[in-house]
Structures are given as C-alpha cells and as structure tokens.
Copies of this chain bind each other. A is one copy, B any other.
Amino acid sequence: MRSTPSPNQNHLLAALPTAEFERLAPHLEAVEMRLGDVLYESGEQLQYMYFPTTAIVSLHYVMENGSSSEIAGVGKEGAVGISLFMGGNTTPSRAVVQTGGHGYRIRTQLMQEEFKRAEAMQLLMLRYTQALITQMSQTAACNRHHSLVQQLCRWLLLTLDRMPSNELVMTQELVASMLGVRREGVTEAAGKLQQAGLISYRRGHITVLDRKGLESQVCECYAVVKTEFARLLPDVLQRQNFIAYSAPAPRVAVVRPIDQAKGRK
C-alpha cells in the first residue's frame, strides 16, 4: 500500500510561499477520493475546498432530462470549490470523482479566511479561476464545433496530463457521460483511435500508446487550455520537486464513506 501523496503534489499548494503553506498545513486533511464520490452536489453548500493530488475530479452539469456533460476537469493542477471564495458558496454544477486517488481538503471557513488575507493564496486562486474559465469556454466552443474523435482526444490528453501513468482506469460509459455523448459513440471513436495505434484498451482500462499521435489528431482546444494554464500559473511548476514536505503521516479520511469498503485498514 502506497503512502499518501504529499500536499506538494498538488501544484497550487506547492506554489504557495513556504510561510503561507506552513500556516495552512495543519488544517490540510488528507482524503481518499474514490471513483464516483460526489464532493458536492448542485446547489449544495460547500464544506471544504479540495486539492487533488492523484485523484481527478470532474465538474459536471446534469440536465433535467438526465443527460450530463463535463464543464471542466480538476486534477493536481487545481482545486475544487472555487465558488467558496467567489461568492454564493454553491454552484449549479456537481463535482464527481472521475479517477480515484488522493487529495487534501480544508474547511470552507479557513479557506475563506486565507483568501481574505489577500496574499499569495488569493492571487493564486484568482489566476487558477481564470484558467478554469478558459477551460470552460473552450469546452463550450469545442462542444459546438469539433467532432467526437477530436473531443475524445482532447479529453484523453487533458486527463493524461493529470495522471502519473499512461493508463486511465475508465469505462467507455463513463467517458461518454463526461463528454455528454452516447456510449456507442465513444466505442466508435475509441475504436478509430485504437485502429490508428494511438491507444489500446480493455474493459475499463484505456492505455495511451502514442501521445504524439493523439496530439496530431486533437483540435486546437487542448493547446489553448494548456497554454493558458502555463501562462497563468508558471510558478506552479517551479517549486515542484524540491520540497520534501513531511508532516506527521495524516490520517486519511474518506470523502463520502462508502459503506462496503470500510473495513480495510
């Protein structure tokens, strides 16, 4: 069993100046996020802000007729729950864990106080929000104009960038609900990519074989989002590897205690 990843694996936390980070550290609670966990529901008051390290969270909008689509994804490069400092404290969207893993969370109130200090955290969060807005805009435009295959490529690449390996644990059904399309559509699109030798997959696992190949198929949207993140959050990549955070191994909380899997230690 691997140990819990350090908070520094979240790029935003890692980008904080040491002083600010240390102030926050005692309040960071390690959490395990399991596939399907709902961090917050549409319209629900946010209790925590989440900083994924190895997990990936999907911000979703679910329509009245039940169909849904992803508005944006959040992984180690970001944070879930920005509306907690933007105002209103809720959103009409839902946050669901798309790839199981770990992360940290901090209570809403503490985060709000930290934000109000108007120091590094505030700037960081605002810039991150700006980057998130770009991602949403691009999703809107991409939904309108690009083919399913292109969108699948975009989604795969964005997800891959948040993963440690090149294998996604992910059913086609799930991918379909992310993209807001039919499952059969994903089967077909993924089939094309597999035939082209770019990916291979089996029951619930998608492996990217040829990243460059995917990049050559993807629409511009991927690059726009990546570029914008790099521009807005350049510092985020710098402090990365040279900090060894070693807090007393925190207890791991589970986001939404799922009955069954409780008795494992």
What is A's interface to B at a CB cutoff of 8 Å?
59, 61, 63-65, 67-69, 71, 83, 85-88, 91-93, 116, 118, 123, 126-127, 129-130, 132-134, 136-141, 143-145, 180, 220, 224, 228, 231-232
Give the distance to chain B from A228, nearest Cβ to Cβ, in Å.
6
Whether B86 contacts A138 by the Cβ 8 Å rule is no
Whether B64 contacts A137 by the Cβ 8 Å rule is no
**Given known contacts A87-B123, A129-B86, A130-B87, is B118 in contact with A69 (CB within 8 Å)?**
no
Which residues of the other chain, B, contact A144 by a CB distance below 8 angstroms?
69, 143, 180
Which residues of the other chain, B, contact A64 by a CB distance below 8 angstroms?
220
Residue of chain B at shortest CB distance from A231: B88
Which residue of B68, B71, B92, B123 is within 8 Å of A224 (Cβ)?
B92
- A120 and B60 CA atoms in complex are apart in Å by 31
Which residue of B61, B65, B118 is within 8 Å of A137 (Cβ)?
B61
- A65 and B65 CA atoms in complex are apart in Å by 33
| A-B residue pairs in contact (CB < 8 Å), sample of 17 | A59-B137, A61-B138, A61-B140, A63-B145, A63-B220, A64-B220, A65-B145, A67-B145, A68-B141, A69-B140, A69-B144, A86-B129, A86-B133, A92-B138, A92-B224, A92-B228, A143-B144
- A78 and B195 CA atoms in complex are apart in Å by 49
Residue of chain B at shortest CB distance from A127: B87
Which residues of the other chain, B, contact A71 by a CB distance below 8 angstroms?
137, 140-141
Which residues of the other chain, B, contact A127 by a CB distance below 8 angstroms?
86-88
Give the distance to chain B from A237, nearest Cβ to Cβ, in Å.
16
The 9 tightest CB contacts between A and B, nearest first, are A87-B127, A140-B140, A86-B130, A143-B143, A61-B141, A71-B137, A144-B180, A143-B144, A139-B140
Give the distance to chain B from A215, nearest Cβ to Cβ, in Å.
15
**Given known contacts A133-B133, A220-B63, is B139 in contact with A232 (CB within 8 Å)?**
no
- A228 and B93 CA atoms in complex are apart in Å by 11
**Given known contacts A69-B144, A144-B143, A144-B180, is B91 in contact with A134 (CB within 8 Å)?**
yes
Whether A92 contacts B180 by the Cβ 8 Å rule is no
Give the distance to chain B from A3, nearest Cβ to Cβ, in Å.
34
Which residues of the other chain, B, contact A65 by a CB distance below 8 angstroms?
145
Known contacts A88-B127, A88-B228; 17 further A-B pairs (Cβ under 8 A): A59-B137, A61-B141, A63-B220, A69-B140, A69-B144, A86-B127, A86-B129, A86-B130, A87-B126, A87-B127, A88-B130, A91-B133, A91-B134, A92-B137, A118-B118, A133-B133, A143-B143
